[in-house]
Amino acid sequence: MPTYKAPLRDLQFVLHEVLDSESHYQSIGAEEATPDMIDAILSEAGKFCEDVLAPLNRVGDEEGCTYNDGEVTTPTGFKEAYAQWVENGWPSLSHKEEFGGQGLPESIGAAVNEFVSEANWSWGMYPGLSHGAMNTIELHGTDEQKETYLTKLVSGEWTGTMCLTEPHCGSDLGILKSKAEPNGDGSYAITGTKIFISSGEHDMAENIVHIVLARLPGAPEGTKGISLFIVPKFLPDGTRNDVKCGSIEHKMGIHGNATCVMNFDAAKGFLIGPEHQGLKCMFTFMNFARLGTAMQGVASAELSFQGALEYAKDRLAMRSLTGPKAPEKAADPIIVHPDVRRMLLTQKAFAEGGRVMMHAASQLVDVVKYSKDEAKAKEADELLSFLTPIAKAFLTEVGTEAANHGVQVYGGHGFIAEWGMEQIVRDNRIAQLYEGTTGIQALDLLGRKVLMSQGESLKGFTKIVHKFCKANAENETLKPLVEKLAALNKEWGEITMQVGMKAMQNREEVGGAAVDYLMYSGYITLAYYWLLMAKTAQDKLDAGTDEPAFYQAKLKTATFYFDRILPRTESHKTMMLSGVDSMMALDEEHFAF
Amino acid sequence: MPTYKAPLRDLQFVLHEVLDSESHYQSIGAEEATPDMIDAILSEAGKFCEDVLAPLNRVGDEEGCTYNDGEVTTPTGFKEAYAQWVENGWPSLSHKEEFGGQGLPESIGAAVNEFVSEANWSWGMYPGLSHGAMNTIELHGTDEQKETYLTKLVSGEWTGTMCLTEPHCGSDLGILKSKAEPNGDGSYAITGTKIFISSGEHDMAENIVHIVLARLPGAPEGTKGISLFIVPKFLPDGTRNDVKCGSIEHKMGIHGNATCVMNFDAAKGFLIGPEHQGLKCMFTFMNFARLGTAMQGVASAELSFQGALEYAKDRLAMRSLTGPKAPEKAADPIIVHPDVRRMLLTQKAFAEGGRVMMHAASQLVDVVKYSKDEAKAKEADELLSFLTPIAKAFLTEVGTEAANHGVQVYGGHGFIAEWGMEQIVRDNRIAQLYEGTTGIQALDLLGRKVLMSQGESLKGFTKIVHKFCKANAENETLKPLVEKLAALNKEWGEITMQVGMKAMQNREEVGGAAVDYLMYSGYITLAYYWLLMAKTAQDKLDAGTDEPAFYQAKLKTATFYFDRILPRTESHKTMMLSGVDSMMALDEEHFAF
């Protein structure tokens, strides 16, 4: 089991140096969030994650959750850790003071959440789902609903869930069947079966607040006839509601989190938001939830990298091709071998690059949420809606790749449970599926965002990249990287045009190109964030620093990323431009004989 | 759980039509292996695999093996299935009649083995490891050893293992520590700990014959001081030997196979092959064992494809971008969506293309083993030694990719154990690790084979491809594919030269380029086998056939492979040619701070 160490220095670099947290918080009127205050919070959070959550990560995997007649018991230690989490006030960090929150910006919660995600993703999903429920109630709930539910969620006494998926539908919520019949007293009787409900039932909190999608009588068919309801496990008067956990899933990973089948049997529910606008209400914060999942990819890369690095320095095998590097030992540590370094540096590039992408996105969330400047908020919202499917799908895809490199560095030992490396692969695999699969994100990016906006959505980002490249075109050290990125940034627009033209002839081209387009976009986006880091590092080195090795490492890793990972765009480009015909040629019945 | 159906028609196409089994068996003097006879064997094998082995695949995963004080119990049904396997005479299929075998060529055993591998890989490893032990004894054992051990292994009454890895070394066997002290009676006392011993202990057979690597007193250090020993669990006189299973591993997958720690405590062993030549003896058949592992990649792709295809035709979600395809249903089956097709076709391309690669390699094994024409045997041996690391590493890498597509097609359900798709990912993950990791295979290919032979090893294969492309340059239907392959075939040689030149400046370049080179080579190799299939299919269509859809599907899948997968070579090319500098720049202590 790799010993988790919160990457405090790196996160400080990202937040304060690369993303200039001080100016950011000033711009949104959150001057209290000084670098010192943030560092103090992160330092505490890091300790909690290292000491309390990380040791429970394997326990959660080994024990899993236990189901018994509607009750779910979480793995040993989970409940106690949650009590401590609540006692320390973590749930309330980024929520409004009027509901008992500490009033700090969302992005600070996201920074803390990075450590939680790395230390113990399955555990983190319990407070994580609550956060989603809180956002929904805060945005769409009545004052009474906020008073009743939000305050208890903010304090952490209660937790929340999101109930969307049904046995016959997940991606396609338009066909969902759960019903809501008016009870005549303003409440509704909710009936239906929901599956894949993360944290749907457990023993960590007194009450669980379910946010449920269902149809009102006579509602229009499809996505425009879905409404949103609050359905608590215990009603405000203490009565047990008719929502029961029917079973929990046995799954590939995230064993510590209960994935529940939830049966609603005329359970009492309360409409939240307008009738038939449920899906829209969900989508308001869906982008935020997707960013949460994107973080899982970064977290997996970081955790796996830490484990692999430790092992690669320790494990001896063979001699370096250029002669022994540890002649006093029986063999050289495997970190001397180029291919082991390729794997480690790939993990590192995804973890550290993904970290910047995530926290840059969190700052955009802040601007959308808190900025008084409407134009700025709108711009941030558009940029965020462009970046979200990339972050969600690309970072979780490369997160799984990174986790697999971690297994590979360990050789056969990587396959053995006790080393903890294979768990990361299993845990992260869900991230490519839930909150919209990679394919769904890719359609969202290319179809709904880029093409539907006639490319404007893409331009919002490429302009930023262009400006950055132009400003640094004469920087001698960065030049080779800047030139590569500038060329790709231009090509990105051109390719989008080509795909758009094809799609005008044949709509299927969008689906045929989508995933390649998303991955292509992801590599370029990550290149931009790596260059941002490289530029910051170069500035620090130029100005003089007592941490030259830290900054040099950033420059070297950036070069590695540009040399050995970024060229993946080439294949994605050729593949997506080859068109959809060879995908559609085969009749359904001729796939196999 | 996907219902496994042995891909009989496809295997017949590969063996008889693409690879012309009839001429092949005539050329090695195995005229008795007629297509009819082979079909009869495959049909029986298919039934056994579908009816007996496939239903035990999930059982094996769920129950795993149980360890109790040195004894290992295999999952419910494994033992009975093995008894039936033995009763039906399957173990003896491709072994010499003088040892009780049926005298059929190795490649027929490999064909049967494909079905076993697909139906239940974990179970198949018990007879699979025996096969390795048999080959070793047949090649290197004395007549007495053959009489004592081989006959019992051929009958299936006993099983075998290979004991190489130790806790501190796997890839680097040069540093292994197990000792063999002469007992004075011609036998040796073997002492040491071996780990990761597949099928090391179990309840399926009366006796287990371990083939063990250990050092004689005063042996030279490194790989040149290792000898090979037969160490049976029960000695020929019935005495229990001092080799005990100390524990079994808890691992990511292949739960149905016991991965054992084996403790040799002055266990009685018998030298096999010359002193200090143990590693060489092992390497003689290591190539064969690696092909066995390569088959796991193909098997995973096939099994996962079968499951995903079934689901994609059944599951409804959203409408086709070009309008409803199943307007009578609530939504279209997901197979209408291009991205789902991309995943299915990728699985199909790897499964069916990999199948040709594997059985073509098996024919080479036959030629090496049985041909009376020495020049032909030598040529086949060289080609085989070139293809083996590609088959082993490339097919297992893409096998994992295919298995992951299978999970992805199922959406959230893919993550749930009962659907059986995630098991394939977990089971196949070991294939990239054991029998030499992908990195080790890549070094073998680029370093030991291609560069050490001054490119001759590569030329042996590219000449064949060149000849094929030339012969089909004017084929109107195949032309676009032939041209692509011909160009890549040429580029392959050029790139090899460039990497070779770089390596003369800096030996690390070999390690830096190796995995990209291997994957690059794999995609081109698979393209050749796909073109071979396309050519066969085209000929059949031209000649008139009552299975036009079957042959059309081959042509369409070939086109998909060339359009949507083969371009991956582009990125691998750029990455490997970018050189090793960015990999080596970071000091060991500066990977993290």
Taking residues B452-478, what's their average pLDDT?
97
Shared domain for B474 and B431, answered yes or no, is no
Task: Write the single-letter amino acid at B386.
Answer: F
Q: CA–CA separation, B193 vs B52, rounded Å? A: 35
Q: CA–CA separation, A126 vs B108, rounded Å? A: 54
- Tokens 């098996």 map to which residue? B362
Which residues between 8 and 37 in chain B have a beta carbon less than 8 angstroms from any beta carbon of chain A? 9-10
Q: CA–CA separation, B122 vs B197, rounded Å? A: 13
In a domain, A503, yes or no: yes
Shared domain for A433 and A507, answered yes or no, is no
Task: State which residue of chain A sits closest to B442, comparing Cα positions.
Answer: A339
β-pairing, A71-73 with A66-68? antiparallel
ipTM of model: 0.97
**Is A285's pLDDT higher than 70?**
no
**Is B547's pLDDT higher than 70?**
yes
In a domain, B145, yes or no: no
**Is B285's pLDDT higher than 70?**
no
> Do residues B200 and B177 make contact, with C-beta atoms less than 8 angstroms apart?
no
Task: State which residue of chain A sits closest to B581, comparing Cα positions.
Answer: A560
CA B459 to chain centre: 24
Q: CA–CA separation, B86 vs B154, rounded Å? A: 9
> Do residues A315 and A333 make contact, with C-beta atoms less than 8 angstroms apart?
yes
Taking residues B50-57, what's their average pLDDT?
98
Query: Would you call A433 and B411 a contact, using CB atoms and an 8 Å cutoff?
Result: yes
Taking residues B254-268, what's their average pLDDT?
98
Q: Sorting pLDDT into bands at 50, 70 and 90, what band is A284?
A: low
Shared domain for B428 and B508, answered yes or no, is no
Shared domain for A410 and A467, answered yes or no, is no
pLDDT at A282: 86
Query: Would you call B251 and A345 a contact, using CB atoms and an 8 Å cutoff?
Result: no
- What is the domain extent for residue B364? 281-441
Report in angstroms the alpha-carbon separations of A566 from A523, A530, B9, B22, B575.
6, 11, 42, 48, 9
Query: Would you call B439 and A165 a contact, using CB atoms and an 8 Å cutoff?
Result: no
Which residue of A17, A165, A591 to mutate against B (max B Cβ within 10 Å)? A591
CA distance A438 to chain B (A): 8
Q: CA–CA separation, A406 vs A355, rounded Å? A: 18
Q: Sorting pLDDT into bands at 50, 70 and 90, what band is A254?
A: very high
CATH number for position B326: 1.20.140.10
From chain A, the residues in CB contact with B437 under 8 A are: 408, 411
The pTM of the full predicted model, rounded to 2 decimals, is: 0.98
In a domain, B207, yes or no: no
Note whether B495 contacts A: Cβ–Cβ < 8 A.
no
In a domain, A61, yes or no: no
- Tokens 């001759």 map to which residue? B456
Shared domain for B402 and B460, answered yes or no, is no
Query: Would you call A586 and B341 a contact, using CB atoms and an 8 Å cutoff?
Result: yes
Shared domain for A383 and A481, answered yes or no, is no
Task: State which residue of chain A sits closest to B306, comparing Cα positions.
Answer: A592
Task: State which residue of chain B sits closest to A346, comparing Cα positions.
Answer: B583
From chain A, the residues in CB contact with B439 under 8 A are: 337, 339-340, 408
Shared domain for A307 and A435, answered yes or no, is yes
In a domain, B106, yes or no: no
From chain A, the residues in CB contact with B222 under 8 A are: none
Shared domain for B310 and B359, answered yes or no, is yes
Shared domain for B355 and B327, answered yes or no, is yes
Query: Would you call B169 and A317 a contact, using CB atoms and an 8 Å cutoff?
Result: yes
Which residues between 294 and 353 in chain B have a beta carbon less than 8 angstroms from any beta carbon of chain A? 305-306, 309, 313, 316-318, 320-322, 330-331, 333, 335-342, 344-345, 348
Query: Would you call A433 and B313 a contact, using CB atoms and an 8 Å cutoff?
Result: no
Q: CA–CA separation, A146 vs A128, rounded Å? A: 18
Task: State which residue of chain A sits closest to B175, comparing Cα positions.
Answer: A330
CA distance B251 to chain A (A): 4
Query: Would you call A407 and B165 a contact, using CB atoms and an 8 Å cutoff?
Result: no
Q: Please report the number of interchain residue pairs, chain A to chain B, with beta-carbon separation below 8 angstroms.
A: 304
From chain A, the residues in CB contact with B404 under 8 A are: 400, 429
Query: Would you call A339 and B514 a contact, using CB atoms and an 8 Å cutoff?
Result: yes
Compute the mean pLDDT over every residue in chain B, rounded to the nearest whole number.
97
Q: CA–CA separation, B174 vs A318, rounded Å? A: 8
Taking residues A44-49, what's their average pLDDT?
98
Query: Would you call B585 and A560 a contact, using CB atoms and an 8 Å cutoff?
Result: yes
Note whether A40 contacts B: Cβ–Cβ < 8 A.
no
Note whether B563 contacts A: Cβ–Cβ < 8 A.
yes
**Length of chain B in terms of residues written:** 593
In a domain, A233, yes or no: no
Q: In percent, how much of chain B has pLDDT > 90?
A: 97
Task: State which residue of chain A sits closest to B322, comparing Cα positions.
Answer: A507
> Do residues A405 and A308 make contact, with C-beta atoms less than 8 angstroms apart?
yes
> Do residues B508 and B584 make contact, with C-beta atoms less than 8 angstroms apart?
yes
Q: Which among A418, A441, A464 is the end of a domain?
A: A441
Which residues between 446 and 485 in chain A have a beta carbon less than 8 angstroms from any beta carbon of chain B? none
User: What are B357-384's pLDDT values in tens digits?
Assistant: 999 999 999 999 999 999 999 999 999 9
Sign of the torsion angle spanned by Cα atoms A515, A521, A524, A527: negative
In a domain, B332, yes or no: yes
User: What are A184-241's pLDDT values in tens digits?
Assistant: 999 999 999 999 999 999 999 999 999 999 999 999 999 999 999 999 999 999 999 9
Q: In percent, how much of chain A has pLDDT > 90?
A: 97
Number of domains in chain A: 2
Q: Sorting pLDDT into bands at 50, 70 and 90, what band is B284?
A: low
Phi, psi of B230 (to 5 degrees): -95, 125
Query: Would you call B511 and A339 a contact, using CB atoms and an 8 Å cutoff?
Result: yes
Which residues between 232 and 251 in chain B have a beta carbon less than 8 angstroms from any beta carbon of chain A? 249-251
Which residues between 190 and 219 in chain B have a beta carbon less than 8 angstroms from any beta carbon of chain A? 195-196
- Three-state helix/strand/coil letters over B184-221: CCCCEEEEEEEEEEECCCCCCCCEEEEEEEEECCCCCC
CA distance A385 to chain B (A): 22
CA distance B341 to chain A (A): 6
Query: Would you call A411 and B433 a contact, using CB atoms and an 8 Å cutoff?
Result: yes
pLDDT at A1: 63
pLDDT at A287: 75
pLDDT at A288: 76
Which residues between 350 and 369 in chain A have a beta carbon less than 8 angstroms from any beta carbon of chain B? none
User: What is the rounded end-to-end Cα distance, in angstroms, of chain A?
Assistant: 46
User: What are A97-119's pLDDT values in tens digits?
Assistant: 999 999 999 999 999 999 999 99
User: What are A541-571's pLDDT values in tens digits?
Assistant: 999 999 999 999 999 999 999 999 999 999 9
Query: Would you call B309 and A574 a contact, using CB atoms and an 8 Å cutoff?
Result: no
**Which residue among B250, B429, B550 sits closest to A407, beta carbon to beta carbon?**
B429
Query: Would you call B338 and A172 a contact, using CB atoms and an 8 Å cutoff?
Result: no
**Which residue among A439, A512, A570 sits closest to B574, beta carbon to beta carbon?**
A570
Shared domain for A459 and A516, answered yes or no, is yes
Which residue of B570, B584, B589 to mutate against A (max A Cβ within 10 Å)? B570
Taking residues A403-417, what's their average pLDDT?
98
Which residue of B168, B343, B563, B589 to mutate against A (max A Cβ within 10 Å)? B563
**Is B288's pLDDT higher than 80?**
no
Q: CA–CA separation, A6 vs A16, rounded Å? A: 17
Q: CA–CA separation, A31 vs A578, rounded Å? A: 51
**Which residue among A330, A429, A585 sits closest to B556, beta carbon to beta carbon?**
A585
Task: State which residue of chain B sits closest to A312, comparing Cα positions.
Answer: B588
Calculate Rg over the CA atoms of chain B: 24
Query: Would you call B507 and A321 a contact, using CB atoms and an 8 Å cutoff?
Result: yes
Task: State which residue of chain B sits closest to A253, comparing Cα positions.
Answer: B415
Q: Sorting pLDDT into bands at 50, 70 and 90, what band is A148?
A: very high
Shared domain for B436 and B301, answered yes or no, is yes
Taking residues A304-317, what's their average pLDDT?
98
pLDDT at B101: 97
Q: Which residues contact B453 (CB under 8 A, 6 or more apart)?
A: none
CA distance A275 to chain B (A): 23
Which residue of A347, A571, A578 to mutate against B (max B Cβ within 10 Å)? A571
Which residue of A163, A505, A533, A563 to mutate against B (max B Cβ within 10 Å)? A563
Query: Would you call B585 and A559 a contact, using CB atoms and an 8 Å cutoff?
Result: yes
Q: Sorting pLDDT into bands at 50, 70 and 90, what band is A535?
A: very high
Q: CA–CA separation, A334 vs A332, rounded Å? A: 6
Compute the mean pLDDT over every residue in chain A, rounded to the nearest whole number.
97
CA A447 to chain centre: 21
Q: Which among A441, A475, A507 is the end of a domain?
A: A441
Report DSSP state, residue A171.
S
User: What are B293-345's pLDDT values in tens digits?
Assistant: 999 999 999 999 999 999 999 999 999 999 999 999 999 999 999 999 999 99
Q: Which of A280-284, B47-51, B505-509 has the lowest mean pLDDT?
A: A280-284
In a domain, B8, yes or no: no
Shared domain for B427 and B460, answered yes or no, is no
| Residue B509 known to be catalytic | no
Q: For residues B284 and A369, which has the higher predicted lDDT (pLDDT)?
A: A369
- Catalytically active residues of A are 435
B399 in helix, strand or coil?
helix
Q: CA–CA separation, B567 vs A574, rounded Å? A: 6
Q: Which among B388, B416, B441 is the end of a domain?
A: B441
Please tell me which residue in B435, B491, B570, B588 is annotated as part of the active site. B435
